[in-house]
Amino acid sequence: MVNFAGLEFIFRFLPVFLVIYYIFSEKYRDTILLLGSLLFYAAGEPRFFLLFIALTGINYLMGRKGNQDIQSFAMHKWQKRRRKKWMITAVTLDILVLIAFKCLSTFVDSTLLPMGLSFYLFKMISWQVDMYRSVIAEDVSFRSVALYFSLFPQVVSGPIMRYDDGDFALGRTYSPERFEKGLFFFISGLGMKVLLADRLAILWNDLQMIGFQSISTPLAWLGAYSYSLQLYFDFWGYSLMASGIMMMLGFDFIENFNHPYASKSIGEFYRRWHITLGSFFRDYVYIPMGGSRCSGGKLALNLAFVWILTGIWHGNGLNFIIWGAILGLLIISEKLIYGKLLAKVPLIGHLYVLLLVPLTWVVFAITDLGQLAVYFGRLFPFIGGFGLAVNEMDIVKYSQMYGPLIILGMILCIPKVCGKISKHRNHPLVLLGLTVVFWWSIYYLSNNAGNPFMYFAF
């Protein structure tokens, strides 16, 4: 049930929940949404349900304890210190819980990582810090905070919405137009996941089965671009589905991707990619360390720390640390050396992004460092000493099989294409296309085991 691209969720949980949600008046909808979200999490992760409840309660109590003087006209220094102490204690507890379960899943058993742990703990941390900073002004209730932590469209893999984005105190906007727009995003995301990402995943699996040492250089490059699109449409698809459901529930749309492959630098790419995670690291790690308002050396240190941390968050293998270090080095170089050149000559910036980003995703994808070296040897055979292609004609076979999907994916990376589709979503041809996408996706799901979203692993 936790997989949005699953028949049980699409035809059972979601429609039944929406009917119940809208049958009752607005006064009861937060309670219904909280109960439905807890049921959703309990069904997907029964072993760690009590952990989630405990962390929710502890974070709420610590947050309220630290902010009990927030209504004071003028706080004394000792009150400010107490508020800071409670915030630091709560954030430290959340970080230690995350580290503990990451270590358990790495060194003991991979199944010991609770579903959605990183995402709901990041929400808890942002809530604690925003309460301390008085970004959240109202006197929050336990129901509102628990709902914010447990919202079922976001609890598994984000987006990492901020508490003040949810209008928990002011209420939400319900309208047929908002519901229809949410449905549009949900179906669009479903199609990206099932018809694009899952199909492209077969190519990457085939390359692993063949063995990287046996593929030609053209096929290695095709695989790198294919994996880049697979990851993009898998997580963009999930984000659209999650934000679409949120809109159907009366919330505002949370943008998590903004056409990153149209970027002109790596830094811009990651401002457009997984926006809510990037803004989390920016606001709660990078800026408190000093951000960009410092010397070049301190700036480089801040960026290096954030990107190493980002790599560690994404996975337990050494390749993730290398991936984060490479991105950190590229972004530092853009900030200090050649970023202005990329901005002045957009064509160079676009080519730079389209060349380097797929190569970094190869580092992200291959956890075995030996196999990673083999793959780069196939990408650059003369530099790596691997020689010419073993199977020179394999590119013809796989281009015929996956070329149309890759071309479609590249077209959808163009901002104007998606913008026009979204703008004319009520046009009969677009509605017909959405209907075909939905039932074609359902056909695939009914004939194949649904693949979980890739970011479920994080």
Residues assigned a catalytic role: 314
Distance between CA atoms of 270 and 307, rounded to whole angstroms?
11
Query: What is the rounded CA–CA span in Å between residue 100 and residue 313?
Result: 13
d(CA 430, CA 381): 45
DSSP string over 34-86? HHHHHHHHHHH-GGGHHHHHHHHHHHHHHHHHHTTTTT-SS--HHHHHHHHHH
Q: For residue 36, what are its two tokens?
A: 């439905």
- Token output for 430: 């677009």
- The dihedral through the CA atoms of 457, 434, 41, 55 has a sign that is positive
CA nearest to 163, candidates 82, 276, 53:
276
Q: Where do we find the tokens 């706080």?
A: 75
Task: Measure the CA–CA gap between 325 and 365, rounded to whole angstroms.
Answer: 15
Which residues lie closer than 8 Å to 159 by C-beta, 6 or more apart? 239, 242, 243, 254, 256, 275, 276
Q: Tokens 């939905």 appear where?
A: 438
Distance (Å, whole) CA 317 – CA 183: 37
Tokens for 324, please give them. Answer: 């984060």
Amino acid at 174: Y
Please check whether residue 298 is in contact with residue 345, taking contact to mean a CB–CB distance below 8 angstroms. no
Per the CB < 8 A criterion, the answer to whether 41 and 155 are in contact is yes
Q: What is the largest CA-CA distance in the chain?
A: 76
The token duo for 227 is 């994996």
Q: CA quadruple 147, 153, 154, 159: dihedral positive or negative?
A: negative
Q: How far apart are the C-alpha atoms of 30 and 71, rounded to whole Å?
A: 26
